[in-house]
A and B are shown apart, each in its own frame.
Chain A
Amino acid sequence: MNYLNKFAVCATAALLGSTSMAMAQDCADPVKVGVLHSLSGTMAISETTLKDTMLMLIDAQNKKGGVLGCQIEAVVVDPASDWPLFAEKGRELLTVNEVDVIFGSWTSVSRKSVLPVLEELNGLMFYPVQYEGEESSKNVFYTGAAPNQQAIPAVDYYLEELGVEKFALLGTDYVYPRTTNNILQSYLMSKGIAEEDIFVNYTPFGHSDWATIVGDVVALGEDGKQVGVISTINGDANIGFYKELAAANVSADDIPVVAFSVGEEELSGLDTSNLVGHLAAWNYFMSADTPENAEFIATWKEFIGDDARVTNDPMEAHYIGFNMWVNAVTAAGTTDVDAVRSAMYGQTFPNLTGGMAEMLPNHHLTKPVLIGEITAEGQFDIISQTEPVPGDAWTDFLPESAVLTSDWKDLECGMYNTETKTCVQLTSNY
């Protein structure tokens, strides 16, 4: 079955390749891809990698003959981790550089900043990072995980496989942890976990004084219930947090920690020998054992010229997103945003972890959810992989959102109230 699938993909690709060859001579204006990732400032740490990923993907596509017979030109700008600049640079990309599509953003606030501009100018953006959901824009494809593709399966794993009865939700104080924890709290309560068995704590960005919080978490075990930590701690703060966990000798067998924002890249700043067995949930791990992944990693290491560089989940999201976009453009025969958007629905592309990702009418992907255990080498050992889960823009576990649905194909509305059968709004809520 798998082989058949692969064969089909190859055949399609070959077919598409030949059509684009035929059109090579009538390439009127070059195809431009905007890359809107911070190359300086606090987020450069994560986003520079994605910029390089995009350059690598575009490079590879150009070697294959580009798209629609045109070479793809990358337009890289630096919004410098300054959120208003995302709106400014986004506008520049769309009006001055006249790019056909934008790949960019990492933080939710940067996405919210550029959203109004995209909707005003009818641009198209691929957003590659796991996020809190509760949003659906006609002009954005969300190739990262929605909460039901990362947080909910991880909690299910806690409940079913680890038998966790008491939860500590630790997060950095910003929108992704807040919303995710809100969703998780109501999900856990629907699963019969009492409110007093859910401990929530928010810390600032870059927090380093973790002793008290780790102590509080350990003390949660005093009523004899199995405690588990769900961490939405972001960025550098994780280093201090894991160091404190290791110092307090909190073993994964006693109090497991599952993180949603810690990937291979973050682990490279840490000595992981004391963290073996703690968990992370993603849609991709570098350790995934598939031929596609092996090739991707090899290409990446060669492109970046560094054998020690790791790959991570948002990189896979860009990989899938970019390839789907190329296929959709080829299918539509144009880079016109509305035509490409229609062609995107139902597009499939093989995941790096096996199986097929499919673009849904709500602009999310179907993806498998992987749970990995940290190994001493700073990698993740995949111990659980679900069937592909369709991404859900509006969570089913908050009463206000449960009635909402997103369908840009048939309903042509991203915020459709299924109870009143009306479209709440066509733009997204910023």
Chain B
Amino acid sequence: MLRRFLTLIVFLGIAGVAQAQDLQPVLQTHAAEIANPSRSSVSVALEDLAASGAPQVSDFLEQWEDKGVWQRTSDGMFFFATEEGNDLRLRDIDTGAETLAPKSGFSQLKPNGGVRRLIGTALVQFQLADPDLARRASAVDSIARRPDESQLEPLLASVDGEPDAALKARKIQLANFLSASFAPDPNDKIDAINSLSKDTSIEARAVLNQILSVKTGVSADAPTGNVARLLKVGRDLSQEAAYAQLVEAKLAPPLVPSGSIRDALAANVVGGKVGDIPTAQLDNQPMREAAYAVLAGDGLVPPLVTQAEQIAAVEAHTFFEVYDEDNAAFTDAARAALDSIETRVGAAQTVDLTLDALSLASIYFLAAIGLAITFGVMGVINMAHGEFIMMGAYTGYVVQQFVPDYTVSIIIALPLAFAVTFAAGVAMERLVIRHLYHRPLETLLATFGISVALQQLAKNIFGTQARPLTSPGWLDGAWVFSDVIQISYIRIAIFVLALLFLGLILFVLKRTRLGLEVRAVTQNPGMAASMGINPDRINMLTFGLGSGIAGIAGVAIGLYAKVTSEMGADYIVQSFMTVVVGGVGNVWGTLAGASLIGFLQKGIEWFNPSNTLAAQTYMVLFIILFIQFRPKGIVAQKGRAAAD
């Protein structure tokens, strides 16, 4: 159809040059459809528009697609218009004359997504060879969205003249897809199909899958047509499904559902009895079937189909799948190409899953790394750790309120978040935790009190609504390796951040004076003090460091998910489990714990993709069992330090 009016265009296009034609009258003949278009009926109007040959058509279609066309309520005339406050700057579609008018007398045309796609397709012919790169790209996108036989020729024709290398490659790829589906010469078609066997993109698979689309069939004799495969009852489809298929093909009588048995019995009660059985006895299935059999014997109702009859009926037939494409050469080539793609896709999916798991692990690690210091090294249970993460995220939000440039604001927010939570951590250590070093269980409860208070405080200040924390533009989007393997930049950034912190903390603990003193105080505070180390100062600094890192983690987590007063609570239990599973007192342990949890969670999700909640449940269960059998975690501390 499209091709037909393409030729029409060429023909009329020449005529159009001869006499400039007005578009408005054509629009008015389809005014209702254009003002209120529907995907199923707009094609007529589009064809007529294109057929009018007016040079304004492509301009009009573009404006229409972008919601730039308005209709005057009084006389139904269409205008290009842009909003200026309460006014509209109108541009006449044919003359281009500009006027200003109040908005109230006009209504904006808002074609829906489906119509926009059709407009895009109609625009292809105008845009494919347009000097503007963006227009050509949009035409190519339109073809990709709605591949159509008629587009193959013009697309092929435009390939050679394409100056942009990337777009040219894309055009060639698309032409390949179209050839695989629509090439008139069978050899071209098979060549195109074969050439897809290395392309793991979703589009390539879509092309092949459409060639390989099947429908199921059933027959008493050998199957006919381009048979894809024979189905074995019990393996490929169940006995019930097979029988249902027979019923649908009218090759077997339908089953009588138990509801209809009851209805049939109720309809045939004679003198309190059905088929000589009193109704009082019909409260179980065997008696009902017996009574029904009597009715069936009298020919009052269709007979029941017994289990044996069902099996016999199914056995007497062959069930199979047959390709919609009749030519076996095409389907064979497509099958071979698809099989080769699937192996690659399988490998790519594994890589993608690994990336996802790594990313999740790095988020868990980032959330838990502060705890690895406060809990792991110092042995302080800080239930308010999650709230430090939240404070960091809110710091980021507040900074963005004052610094509108997202890149600058993030650069300010990261150290500021560290400073804020460092101060909060030091304050908490001085005021509360210091007094409770010998009562770990009480530390847990006191910090929980702080956590409750901080959470509510955040609610009172920032409200319960989630607050936006927007990442800078260069972190938008994803690193795309192929259609299967991709990961968003923000996740990569978090991964890098996690690595940085791992390095930083290892460095601080192992290579600096502070780290040495921290380890000394942790192992034996009394001895450390007698060596001239001030344990109070060290405890304070260590706790501040752990809290400060939680603050930075908060900014990162806020960037990728959300900023709410409850975000900390989402991570606290998870973080403790990460540290405990990994092994207390060791940063490597936390890394191991986070990796284990991240990979495990993704692994379980992969087995049951429809229920993420189940994956989380099983993961927690696994952690419980793991700790029961390995209470010291993956990287167990040895020697004296291990004693509680």
- A101 vs B555: C-alpha distance when bound (angstroms): 45
B40 to A, closest residue via Cβ: A160
Residues of A151-168 at the interface with B, using a CB-CB cut-off of 8 Å, are: 157, 160-163
Which residues of the other chain, A, contact B39 by a CB distance below 8 angstroms? Answer: 160-163
- A160 vs B209: C-alpha distance when bound (angstroms): 24
Q: Is B288's beta carbon under 8 Å from chain A? A: no
Known A-B contacts A162-B112, A215-B352, A277-B113; the reply to A224 vs B206 at CB < 8 A is yes
B612 to A, closest residue via Cβ: A203
Encoded as 1 (CB less than 8 Å from any A CB) or 0, chain B from 607 to 642 comes to 001111100100000000000000000000000000
Q: Is A246's beta carbon under 8 Å from chain B? A: yes
Q: Once the chains bind, are A211 and B206 in contact (CB under 8 Å)?
A: no
- Report the minimum CB–CB distance from B617 to chain A (whole Å): 9
Q: Is A265's beta carbon under 8 Å from chain B? A: yes
Which residues of the other chain, A, contact B383 by a CB distance below 8 angstroms? Answer: none
Which residues of the other chain, B, contact A244 by a CB distance below 8 angstroms? Answer: 488
Which residues of the other chain, A, contact B477 by a CB distance below 8 angstroms? Answer: 247, 249
Which residues of the other chain, A, contact B430 by a CB distance below 8 angstroms? Answer: none
Q: Is B489's beta carbon under 8 Å from chain A? A: yes
Q: A203 contacts which of B38, B363, B465, B613 (Cβ < 8 Å)?
A: B613
Which residues of the other chain, B, contact A265 by a CB distance below 8 angstroms? Answer: 465
Which residues of the other chain, B, contact A371 by a CB distance below 8 angstroms? Answer: 112
Q: B466 contacts which of A199, A203, A236, A246 (Cβ < 8 Å)?
A: A236
- A279 vs B112: C-alpha distance when bound (angstroms): 10
Q: Is B490's beta carbon under 8 Å from chain A? A: yes
Q: Is B443's beta carbon under 8 Å from chain A? A: no
Which residues of the other chain, A, contact B143 by a CB distance below 8 angstroms? Answer: none
Q: Once the chains bind, are B470 and A221 in contact (CB under 8 Å)?
A: no
Q: Once the chains bind, are B613 and A202 in contact (CB under 8 Å)?
A: yes
Q: Once the chains bind, are B115 and A161 in contact (CB under 8 Å)?
A: yes
Q: Once the chains bind, are B613 and A247 in contact (CB under 8 Å)?
A: no
- Report the minimum CB–CB distance from A171 to chain B (whole Å): 11
Q: State which of A18-26, A89-97, A250-258 sits at the interface with chain B.
A: A250-258
Known A-B contacts A211-B487, A271-B470; the reply to A224 vs B114 at CB < 8 A is no
Which residues of the other chain, A, contact B352 by a CB distance below 8 angstroms? Answer: 215
- A382 vs B109: C-alpha distance when bound (angstroms): 11
Q: Is A45's beta carbon under 8 Å from chain B? A: yes
Secondary structure type dominating chain A contacts: mixed
Residues of B76-114 at the interface with A, using a CB-CB cut-off of 8 Å, are: 110-114
A419 to B, closest residue via Cβ: B263
Q: Is A207's beta carbon under 8 Å from chain B? A: yes
- A121 vs B41: C-alpha distance when bound (angstroms): 55
Residues of B462-490 at the interface with A, using a CB-CB cut-off of 8 Å, are: 464-468, 470, 476-478, 483-484, 486-490
Q: Once the chains bind, are B561 and A161 in contact (CB under 8 Å)?
A: no
Which residues of the other chain, A, contact B116 by a CB distance below 8 angstroms? Answer: 253
Known A-B contacts A222-B205, A224-B206; the reply to A204 vs B613 at CB < 8 A is yes
Q: A206 contacts which of B117, B213, B566 (Cβ < 8 Å)?
A: B566
- A160 vs B213: C-alpha distance when bound (angstroms): 23
Q: State which of B353-361, B526-534, B540-548 sits at the interface with chain A.
A: B353-361
Q: Once the chains bind, are A201 and B483 in contact (CB under 8 Å)?
A: no
Q: Once the chains bind, are A243 and B613 in contact (CB under 8 Å)?
A: no
- A249 vs B487: C-alpha distance when bound (angstroms): 11
- A268 vs B397: C-alpha distance when bound (angstroms): 14
Known A-B contacts A201-B609, A246-B476, A254-B145; the reply to A222 vs B114 at CB < 8 A is no
Q: Is B411's beta carbon under 8 Å from chain A? A: no
Q: Once the chains bind, are A212 and B561 in contact (CB under 8 Å)?
A: no
Q: Once the chains bind, are A224 and B488 in contact (CB under 8 Å)?
A: no
Q: Is A347's beta carbon under 8 Å from chain B? A: no
- A274 vs B39: C-alpha distance when bound (angstroms): 25
Which residues of the other chain, B, contact A248 by a CB distance below 8 angstroms? Answer: 478, 486, 488
Q: Once the chains bind, are B561 and A208 in contact (CB under 8 Å)?
A: yes
B204 to A, closest residue via Cβ: A222
Q: Is B49's beta carbon under 8 Å from chain A? A: no
Q: Once the chains bind, are A45 and B465 in contact (CB under 8 Å)?
A: yes
Q: Once the chains bind, are B466 and A216 in contact (CB under 8 Å)?
A: no
Which residues of the other chain, A, contact B209 by a CB distance below 8 angstroms? Answer: 222-224
Q: B145 contacts which of A199, A240, A253, A277 (Cβ < 8 Å)?
A: A253
Q: Is A1's beta carbon under 8 Å from chain B? A: no
Which residues of the other chain, B, contact A223 by a CB distance below 8 angstroms? Answer: 205-206, 209-210, 213
Q: Once the chains bind, are B110 and A239 in contact (CB under 8 Å)?
A: no
Which residues of the other chain, A, contact B489 by a CB distance below 8 angstroms? Answer: 247
Q: Once the chains bind, are B360 and A209 in contact (CB under 8 Å)?
A: yes
Q: A162 contacts which of B113, B490, B616 (Cβ < 8 Å)?
A: B113
Q: Once the chains bind, are A243 and B113 in contact (CB under 8 Å)?
A: no
- A240 vs B557: C-alpha distance when bound (angstroms): 10
- Report the minimum CB–CB distance from A49 to chain B (whole Å): 9
Q: Is B132's beta carbon under 8 Å from chain A? A: no
Interface band, chain A: 35 or more
Q: Most chain-B Cβ atoms within 10 A of its Cβ — which of A239, A240, A271?
A: A239
Q: Is A28's beta carbon under 8 Å from chain B? A: no
- A239 vs B487: C-alpha distance when bound (angstroms): 18
Which residues of the other chain, A, contact B363 by a CB distance below 8 angstroms? Answer: 209
- A173 vs B207: C-alpha distance when bound (angstroms): 35
Encoded as 1 (CB less than 8 Å from any A CB) or 0, chain B from 203 to 242 comes to 0011101100100000000000000000000000000000
Q: Once the chains bind, are A224 and B207 in contact (CB under 8 Å)?
A: yes
Known A-B contacts A247-B478, A268-B465; the reply to A239 vs B562 at CB < 8 A is yes
Which residues of the other chain, B, contact A384 by a CB distance below 8 angstroms? Answer: 112
- Report the minimum CB–CB distance from A248 to chain B (whole Å): 6
B212 to A, closest residue via Cβ: A223
Which residues of the other chain, A, contact B114 by a CB distance below 8 angstroms? Answer: 160-163
Q: Once the chains bind, are A239 and B561 in contact (CB under 8 Å)?
A: yes
- A382 vs B110: C-alpha distance when bound (angstroms): 8
Q: Is B602's beta carbon under 8 Å from chain A? A: yes
Q: Most chain-A Cβ atoms within 10 A of its Cβ — which of B356, B464, B468, B470?
A: B464
Known A-B contacts A223-B206, A269-B465; the reply to A383 vs B486 at CB < 8 A is no
Which residues of the other chain, B, contact A274 by a CB distance below 8 angstroms? Answer: 476
- A201 vs B613: C-alpha distance when bound (angstroms): 10
Known A-B contacts A45-B465, A246-B476, A269-B562; the reply to A204 vs B612 at CB < 8 A is yes
Q: Is B385's beta carbon under 8 Å from chain A? A: no
Known A-B contacts A203-B613, A254-B145; the reply to A269 vs B491 at CB < 8 A is no
- Report the minimum CB–CB distance from B288 to chain A (whole Å): 17
- A244 vs B560: C-alpha distance when bound (angstroms): 8
Q: Once the chains bind, are B359 and A211 in contact (CB under 8 Å)?
A: yes
Residues of B529-582 at the interface with A, using a CB-CB cut-off of 8 Å, are: 557, 560-562, 564, 566, 570
- Report the minimum CB–CB distance from B363 to chain A (whole Å): 7
Q: Once the chains bind, are B478 and A202 in contact (CB under 8 Å)?
A: no
Q: Is B605's beta carbon under 8 Å from chain A? A: yes
Q: Is A85's beta carbon under 8 Å from chain B? A: no
Q: Is A44's beta carbon under 8 Å from chain B? A: yes
Q: Is A16's beta carbon under 8 Å from chain B? A: no
Which residues of the other chain, B, contact A200 by a CB distance below 8 angstroms? Answer: 610
Q: Once the chains bind, are B484 and A207 in contact (CB under 8 Å)?
A: no
Encoded as 1 (CB less than 8 Å from any B CB) or 0, chain A from 187 to 218 comes to 00000000000011111101111011101101
Q: Once the chains bind, are A213 and B612 in contact (CB under 8 Å)?
A: yes
Which residues of the other chain, B, contact A269 by a CB distance below 8 angstroms? Answer: 465-468, 562
Q: B468 contacts which of A162, A218, A246, A270 (Cβ < 8 Å)?
A: A270
- A270 vs B467: C-alpha distance when bound (angstroms): 8
| 15 further A-B pairs in the complex, CB-CB below 8 A; given A161-B38, A224-B205, A247-B489 | A161-B115, A162-B39, A162-B113, A162-B114, A163-B114, A200-B610, A201-B609, A202-B610, A211-B487, A212-B609, A223-B213, A254-B145, A269-B467, A373-B113, A383-B111
15 sample A-B contacts, Cβ–Cβ < 8 Å, listed by A number: A157-B112, A163-B39, A206-B570, A212-B356, A212-B602, A215-B486, A218-B483, A224-B207, A240-B561, A243-B561, A247-B488, A247-B489, A253-B117, A373-B113, A382-B110
B residues with CB within 8 A of A: 38-40, 67, 110-117, 141, 145, 202, 205-207, 209-210, 213, 352-353, 356, 359-360, 363, 459, 464-468, 470, 476-478, 483-484, 486-491, 557, 560-562, 564, 566, 570, 602, 605, 609-613, 616
Q: Which 10 residue pairs of A and B lie closest in terms of their CB atoms, listed nearest first?
A: A224-B206, A247-B488, A269-B466, A208-B561, A223-B209, A239-B562, A45-B464, A161-B114, A222-B205, A224-B210
